[in-house]
Amino acid sequence: MKNTFSLLICFAILFSACSSDTSDGSTEIKKKVDETPLVQRYMTEMVANPKNQDDLDRNIIVNKLIDNLWEFKKTDSGIYYKIDPPGTGGHPNLNSNIKCHYKGTLLDGREFDSSFKRNKPLEFTLGQVIAGWQEAIPLLEKGGKGTFIVPSRLAYGQSFPPGTIITANSILMFEIELLDFH
């Protein structure tokens, strides 16, 4: 009985410690995470009162980056990206014929397409694909890999490919490996 009572006291203390909040309603761990330079940098990119789809997309993307503590760079148009490795041999342009592997997901992680799964790279002229790819792929060099979060305006916007899980104003995330271009 004495061991059971001690176990209950330990459990109560542990429960109390795990569930205690600071006076502002957040846990100490959350507060420490919020103080990181990465989170502080992203917080400056948030839009306090979103007025349009671009503002909404930016807030959704930034929240995803903060939640996962992902360190991404941002283009002027609003694409967030991380390149690793960068590759070598120059960058393609809009007239380049591209050969790449890719995986496309919605921001919630649901996959809508993957050339990796088909084990067949995609080949296309860069100027004939969505604006997000036209901007993202030239950031890579041959052999480079990157992850790109594309705001809806640079993906499909209000239009979307029928028969897919992509809906109007979907933010898309792509993992792209640039195999070759000419």
Helix, strand or coil, per DSSP, at residue 118: helix
Q: Tokens for 175?
A: 């993992």
- Does residue 42 carry a catalytic annotation? no
Active site annotation includes 174: yes
Whether 124 is catalytic is no
State the catalytic residue, choosing from 72, 81, 148, 156: 156
Q: Which of 42, 80, 148, 174 is catalytic?
A: 174
Q: Exactly one of 80, 102, 148, 181 is catalytic; which is it?
A: 102
Answer yes or no: 57 catalytic: no
Tokens (6 digits) for 99? 């050969």
Taking Cα atoms as reference points, which of 166, 149, 158 lies closest to residue 77? Answer: 149
Residue 71: partners with Cβ closer than 8 Å, 6 or more residues away: 38, 65, 82
Question: Cis bond leading into 85, ω under 30°?
Answer: yes
5 is catalytic: no
- On the CB side of 76, CA atoms within 13 Å amount to 0
Tell me the sheet residues that pair with 125: 97
Q: Which of 113, 137, 148, 176 is catalytic?
A: 113
User: Does 81 qualify as catalytic in the annotation?
Assistant: no
Residue 22 tokens read as 């600071």
What residues are annotated to the active site? 102, 112-113, 130, 156, 174
